[in-house]
Amino acid sequence: VAQPPPDVHPVPTARPAPDDRSGPAAGGAAGEVLAGHLAGLAAEFLRALRGREPGEDEAAGTAALRAAARRIAATAHTYEPLLDPGWAQQLRTELTWLGAVVGREHRHAARLARLTAALHRLAAGRDGTDGSALNQAVGAARAGALLERQLTLARTRAHSATLQALGSARFHAVADAVALLTSDVPLTAAAGRSAGRALPPLATQACRALTDAVGALPLTVAANPYNTHALHASLGEAAGPEAGQDGDPRDLPWHRVRRLVRTCRYALEVPGAAAPPDPDRPPRPDLSACPERLFDAGRVLERHREAAEAAEAAATAARTPRITPATAYALGVLHADQRAEVEAARYAFSTLWRPVAPAPAP
């Protein structure tokens, strides 16, 4: 059989393949492009669901399920004006519920892995040759055992909750709604406009929400290494029964930016959603114009959240009754270590979120 010459490319399909989000903008109607993108995401969702079946890598399947659910929900949010509003709202609510439930187990596991690694790093080189070092080594070991007990219990509970959710009528309704997306997306009249006109403004709006939220962050402080802000008041935070879920209130603007980074990134994944560069205007001076750095920023803020949650878990463990002072001391060191990681992630974000191009002189 003759090989085709190397410069012959395959004929592009009218609808992008599910994994091909970087394809060129379709020339057709916005609704058609959006429906094609959502159909691809829905197929990923269903594939991930099958991936959770016995014999498959359950954790990987769950991660893929969460990712697909997040992408569909974010896309339905950004492009809501092109979609039947009641339907889009309902689907987002249900997918957000699903993502939260099935994500919990992973988060507990990640937290335990992070804290265990940090304890190893903090206790490295201990030799236990004298009483004091031995005492500290015992404290670190007990802190590790305590955290493992508490987070493994939380993880087991989260696992049961996932199984229960995936067996529920509520989940089957979501899965049915997603399955419908592969063939039928309820569009509005506005979806009849050309993709090139209708999609970029909506993506820009999603990314502008990100830019605004970043504008409210204390980036000048964060850009100054060792500012100690993330540890500030670490011994003074109101840490009520909800502490493990809400964490430090000063972390919330960063968590919000993390979600908006994702929304902006997912919005730009729709083919043709990125506005073409306008030669008459300078490039937007932020990351939303630069998908790769946006991905890095999202990773950094993921690390920010994980470290914040790990710090909170160490503080929670230190409130366990009847622990020894050596255990509590190790948990205090661990808490501060993870708050330093929070600060480090903010610093890293501040180095990423830099003007892509300087603003022109007026």
Near a second copy by CB under 8 A, which window of 71-79, 91-99, 209-217, 226-234? 226-234
Q: How far is CA 340 from the centre of its chain?
A: 21
309, 107 Cβ separation under 8 angstroms: yes
Residue 344 touches a second copy, criterion: CB under 8 A:
yes
Q: Binding of a second copy at residue 233 (CB under 8 A)?
A: yes
The Cα 105–Cα 236 span in angstroms is 29
Q: Scanning the structure block, which residue is given the tokens 């404290």?
A: 139
Closer by beta carbon to a second copy, 4 or else 241 = 241
Query: Is residue 180 a contact partner of residue 252, using CB atoms and an 8 Å limit?
Result: no
What separation, in Å, do the N-terminal and C-terminal C-alpha atoms of the chain show? 63
Among 124, 169, 189, 359, the residue binding a second copy under the rule CB under 8 A is 124
Contact pick of 162, 328, 349, 353 for a second copy (by CB under 8 A): 328
Interaction between residue 359 and a second copy (CB under 8 A) = no
117 binds a second copy (CB under 8 A): no
Would you say 21 and 269 are in contact if contact means Cβ atoms under 8 Å apart? yes
Site string for a second copy, 239-258 (x = CB under 8 A): xx--x---------------
- With b meaning 16 or more CB within 10 Å and e meaning fewer, what string describes 273-291? bbbeeeeeeeebebbbbbe
Amino acid at 151: L
Q: Does 169 bind a second copy (CB under 8 A)?
A: no
* Contacting residue, 19, 53, 86, 129, with a second copy by CB under 8 A: 129
Place of tokens 């989940």: 171
Nearest-angstrom CA–CA distance, 318 and 331: 6
Contact between 330 and a second copy per CB under 8 A: yes
Is residue 2 helix, strand or coil?
Answer: coil
Task: Indicate which single residue of 50, 157, 319, 354 sits in contact with a second copy (rule: CB under 8 A).
Answer: 319
Among residues 126, 256, 293, 299, which is the contact residue for a second copy, using CB under 8 A? 126
Residues that bind a second copy (CB under 8 A): 119, 121-127, 129-130, 132-133, 135-137, 139-140, 225-226, 228, 231-240, 243, 318-319, 323-337, 340-341, 343-344, 347
